[in-house]
Amino acid sequence: MNEVSARWVGACDWEYRTTFQVDPELLHEERIDLVFEGLDTVAKVALNGQMVGTAENMHVRHRFDVRAVLVPGENHLSVHFGSAIDHARSVEREVGARPGVGSGTNPQLPHQMIRKMACNFGWDWGPQLVTCGIWRPARIEFWSAARLHDVRPLVTQADTQTATVEVHADGEIAAEASGVSLRCVLASPDGRVVAERDDDWSGRPGGDPIVLTVDEPRRWWPIGYGDRPLYELRVELVAADGRVLDVCEQKVGLRQVRLITEPDTRDGGGSMVQGLTRGESFHLEVNGQRVFCKGANWIPDDCFPHRVTPQRYRQRIEQAVDANMNMLRVWGGGIYEDHAFYEICDELGVMVWQDFGFACACYAEEEPLRSEVEAEARDNVARLSRHPSLVIWNGCNENFWAAFDWPAFEGVYPNGELTWGLGYYLDLLPRVVAELDTSRPYWPGSPFSGNLDRHPNGNEYGNCHIWDVWNHDGDYRNYLGHFPRFASEFGYMAPPNWATLDRAIPKDQQHWSSEAMTLHNKQKDGIQRGLERLADSHDPPDRYEDQWFIAAIEQARAIALGCEWFRSLSPWCSGALYWQLNDCWPVTSWSAIDGDGRPKLMWHATQRFFRSRLLTLMPARVTPSGVEVERLAAYLHNDHAERWRGRMQVSRMNVAGQLLDTKTFAVDVAPRGVQKWELSESWIGEADEFLMAHIDGEPTDNRAWWFFGRDRDVEYPTPTLNYTLEETDAGQRLTVASDVLVRELCLLADRIEPSARIDRQLVTLLPGESTVFHVTGDRRLTLEQLTAPDVLRCVNGLQAMVPTPT
């Protein structure tokens, strides 16, 4: 409950003070700047009692001239922060109140009236902890003649023969310095100079770039499509007398990105799924190669973002890569992340979809906000344009959709009188991108359908967010009623892992709707909705342990179904980014990784459904009603550059273990292709039946399953499990064998040891099969601990809720 007791912090003004010494020698430099990489947010900066600057935007860098104020010896710096809440309210009075949502169960605050990370005011997964302070590094720069500010190496073209890098160097000339020139040297990843040029330099943004041409470039590719060679760019400012005045070194990835939006020339746009009509493509192409974007949405990884170190970014992004993702969408209600985030993405080949900072609200286009918005767009486009991983700029999160038809936004569009941000998304932001960054596309919104004549969240055009499944329709099989061109959000809630709950929620409050659990579930009606979802397929149990397990399993199944279906729609669909990868604190949310960095069961499911070679059983055609499936088909997804050949076996069985039918097919999937085998209607089975498909030579993890019944209606057999525990150099191996079908076996070892990590979860075994769990952590666990009732669990036995392993 600490969130509530800390809320007063955001309502106060704060002052930060420090004293520092200056070496008199340094005062010989012509210019002295006090530089803040980030001030959060409404600040007045004074040096030695004199005001040197003000700030009202968390998302921009600030530079204040302190030449006249700085003294040799002792100096006193103070930064006074006004309450961000008061500031937002006063701007609201000035420009007029506007609708905004997002804060979930937190008290509603006008987050859109200040340029500060919106979710700091609380979100439907985040606490309301309105921060204030110096959140990124600060320093004093002493310099003479000229300095570099941002270097934007824009890769405007990259094919197999040549790549073009336009080096734009923005900076400043101190006084009368003339004859300053710019020298650019580009070296290949193995250190060979491949391009080099000198030119005059005006220091002004918008000046002519230095154009470097690289022959036979080694191109940067997203993970799964090729390597990620990074070239080294060195840019020097050189004075007339040959002195080097400033240097900037950066890594450059040579790649070309395009967003292809073209009308379909045939029904379904080439998809194997029947029943699709026509619309317009929406896909990203990197180096001329179409990519299917597999990933999730990224939110600030901590409610106090300064705590997110490069190591933590790496851990989180590696978790995304280990789950076979190739894209993260940095969502607009958070922050423009640190370079470290994008550098790791550059290195690992994770494409970044970057939103501008607008989410779920109407944004005034008048002053004092307008200039801040422009400054912020310019600053961040200039700062981040060097990263090859950043493949698309996006105007806003859900603001078109909200203006079109969200109840709280009634009267905003088309005939409303107040501005709501349209001019930002369709004019200001694309203008800034066109001026400063010609190396990647811009798209006005997520979702957006290409023009204002169409609903922004349709299936046939642009990208879409699918929220009616979790929020309204219930049964997650309704994902099958959607056929997006690019699904940039869809989510299903589940609680955090046990060790995370234990840290944050007292034991006696670990139940579905205790006071603490309610505070740690921020969706309006989230508690109730979660219970309704539990009831979709089960008779909800009383014990929280059982509710927890069902919620975690259902989240994994729901998002697996959505992602496998959207992949099956390819090439009609070209992206599945679920909501959301991470959390910023311990909370019941839609995340795959909880607030303490522990993967949920859904993360383990992600490893399978985002595999580059995936076998899945899905409907043969679009089912507008969602749940009713008339025919199934096996789809093989081959995201490799080589063909996928083999023999596929599809079997119809019942949960008692009887084989009812089986078929084999010769498989030959084209590189980067999808192949489909339709099964006859007679393969639609009874509630206690299921289909299983497998390809010779593929690991058993890559089997596809389709269970016809809801758990409530299926009598899974009671397993007699056999266990063996072995010690290994890395940790422990638990082998589990079963005599009967076991559905979704999980080892929830963090219940007994918070540091425990398990390599796999959700393992379905046929009668007579076994599986091995690798356990690592700070402590060895006993067989008894690992096989205790709430630790080793499966779906069998859920009806009775009596754990039955022997």
DSSP assigned state of 509: G
CB of 297 to ligand BMA, least distance (A): 7
Stretch in the footprint of ligand BMA (CB under 6 A) among 12-20, 117-125, 190-198, 660-668: 117-125
Is-contact 48 76, C-beta < 8 A? yes
Which residue of 343, 355, 398, 545 would you call a contact of ligand BMA, by CB under 6 A? 398
Asked whether the bond before 41 is cis by omega within 30 degrees of 0, the reply is: yes
Least Å from the CB of residue 404 to ligand BMA = 14
H, E, C per residue of 546-559 = HHHHHHHHHHHHHH
Which span sits near ligand BMA by CB under 6 A: 123-131, 322-330, 346-354, 640-648?
Answer: 123-131
DSSP 740: S
Report which residue type is found at 96.
G
Residue from 33, 40, 92, 124 that binds ligand BMA (CB under 6 A)?
124
Question: Residue 203 and residue 345: Cα distance in Å, rounded?
Answer: 30
Which residue, 123 or 225, is less far from ligand BMA as judged by CB? Answer: 123
| Shorter beta-carbon distance to ligand BMA: residue 119 or 714 | 119
CB of 116 to ligand BMA, least distance (A): 16
User: H/E element holding 236?
Assistant: strand 231-238
Minimum distance from CB of 124 to ligand BMA (Å)? 5
Interacting span for ligand BMA (CB under 6 A) from 105-113, 122-130, 192-200, 592-600: 122-130
Binding to ligand BMA by residue 365, rule CB under 6 A?
A: no
Residue whose CB is less far from ligand BMA, 124 or 689: 124
CB nearer to ligand BMA: pick between 413 and 467: 467
Binders of ligand BMA among residues 179 to 208 (CB under 6 A) are: none
Binding ligand BMA (rule: CB under 6 A), the pick from 36, 64, 121, 123 is 123
Which of 429, 444, 327 lies closest to 379 in space, CA to CA? 429
CA proximity to 595, closest of 297, 299, 295: 299
Query: Does 397 help bind ligand BMA (rule: CB under 6 A)?
Result: yes
Piece of the chain touching ligand BMA by CB under 6 A; list 118-126, 309-317, 406-414, 570-578: 118-126
Pairing of strands 283-286, 62-65: unpaired
Among the listed residues 423, 355, 435, 347, the one whose alpha carbon sits nearest the alpha carbon of residue 166: 435
CA–CA dist 507, 66 (Å, integer): 54
Decide whether 127 or 491 has the Cβ nearer to ligand BMA: 491
Check: CB of residue 552 under 8 Å from CB of residue 495. yes
The reply to whether 398 belongs to the active site is yes
CB of 102 to ligand BMA, least distance (A): 6
Q: Is the CB of 398 or the CB of 583 nearer to ligand BMA?
A: 398
C-alpha span between 544 and 142 (Å, rounded): 60
Q: Which of 43, 330, 360, 364 binds ligand BMA (CB under 6 A)?
A: 360
Decide if 291 contacts 222 (C-beta within 8 A): yes
CB closer to ligand BMA out of 201 and 490: 490
* 623 interacts with ligand BMA by CB under 6 A: no
Q: Of all helices (H) and strands (E), which one includes residue 328? A: strand 327-330
Q: Phi and psi of 127, rounded to 5°?
A: -75, 160
Q: Closer to ligand BMA by CB, 360 or 679: give it.
A: 360
DSSP state of 688: T
Of 358, 565, 579, 706, the residue at the interface with ligand BMA (CB under 6 A) is 579
Q: Is the dihedral of CA 236, 237, 240, 241 positive or negative?
A: negative
* Closest separation in Å from C-beta 510 to ligand BMA: 24
Longest CA pairwise span in the chain (Å): 88
Q: With beta carbons less than 8 A apart as the criterion, state whether 204 and 169 touch.
A: no
**CB 468, min distance to ligand BMA, A:** 12
Considering the complex, what minimum distance in angstroms separates the CB of residue 332 from ligand BMA? 8
Nearest distance from C-beta of residue 125 to ligand BMA, angstroms: 6
Site map 299..328 versus ligand BMA, x via CB under 6 A? ------------------------------
Nearest distance from residue 166's CB to ligand BMA, in Å?
34
Interface segment toward ligand BMA; rule CB under 6 A; list 50-58, 119-127, 451-459, 702-710: 119-127
Angle at 691 between CA 686 and CA 694, to 5 degrees: 175
Q: Do 756 and 775 touch, CB atoms closer than 8 A?
A: yes
Residue 326 or 589 having the CB closest to ligand BMA: 589
Number of residues forming the site for ligand BMA (CB under 6 A): 13
Q: Are strands 673-678 and 659-669 parallel, antiparallel or unpaired?
A: unpaired
The least distance separating ligand BMA from the CB of residue 126, rounded to whole angstroms, comes to 8
Of 385 and 555, the one with the shorter C-beta distance to ligand BMA is: 555
| Catalytic-role residue among 56, 337, 398, 689 | 398
**DSSP class of residue 641?**
S
SS3 689: strand
Cα–Cα distance for residue pair 84/12, rounded to 1 Å: 9
Q: Closer to ligand BMA at the Cβ: 304 or 406?
A: 406
Contact flags string 68-107 toward ligand BMA, x per CB under 6 A: ----------------------------------x-----
Q: What is the DSSP string of 749-791?
A: GGGT-TT-EES---EEE-TT-EEEEEEESSS---HHHHTSTTT
Q: Which lies closer to ligand BMA via its Cβ, residue 428 or residue 577?
A: 577
What lies within 8 Å, CB to CB, of 243 at 6+ separation is none
- Choosing from 64, 81, 121, 125, the residue that interacts with ligand BMA (CB under 6 A) is 125
* Chain-centre distance for alpha carbon 534: 26
**Binding segment for ligand BMA among 91-99, 121-129, 407-415, 449-457 (CB under 6 A)?**
121-129
CA distance 749 to 469: 31
Site string for ligand BMA, 326-355 (x = CB under 6 A): -------x----------------------
Residue 414, preceding peptide bond in cis (omega within 30° of 0):
yes
Q: Is 489 in the site for ligand BMA (CB under 6 A)?
A: yes
Residues in 449-478 that interact with ligand BMA by CB under 6 A: 467
> Among the candidate windows 77-85, 120-128, 474-482, 697-705, which touches ligand BMA by CB under 6 A?
120-128
As measured in angstroms, the least distance from the Cβ of 421 to ligand BMA is 15
Q: Give the 3-state secondary structure of residue 129.
A: coil
Q: Which positions ≥6 away from 93 have C-beta within 8 Å?
A: none
Cis peptide before 789 (omega within 30 of 0): no
Provide the minimum distance between the beta carbon of 100 and ligand BMA in the complex, in angstroms, as a whole number.
Answer: 11
> What's the Cα-to-Cα distance from 788 to each of 708, 763, 795, 804, rounded to whole Å?
30, 18, 15, 10
Q: Determine how β-strand 721-727 pairs with β-strand 704-707.
A: unpaired
Q: Burial letters for 404-434: b for 16+ Cβ neighbours within 10 Å, e otherwise?
A: beeeebeebbeeeeebbbbebbbebbbebbe
User: What are the two backbone dihedrals, phi and then psi, of residue 399, each rounded to the nearest 5 degrees?
Assistant: -75, -30
Task: Compute the distance between CA of residue 8 and CA of residue 4 in angstroms, rounded to an integer.
Answer: 8
- Assess 601 for contact with ligand BMA (CB under 6 A): no
The nearer residue to ligand BMA, 292 or 579, going by C-beta atoms, is 579
Q: Which residues are catalytic?
A: 398
Q: In the complex, which residues of this chain contact ligand BMA (CB under 6 A)?
A: 102, 123-125, 333, 359-360, 397-398, 467, 489, 491, 579
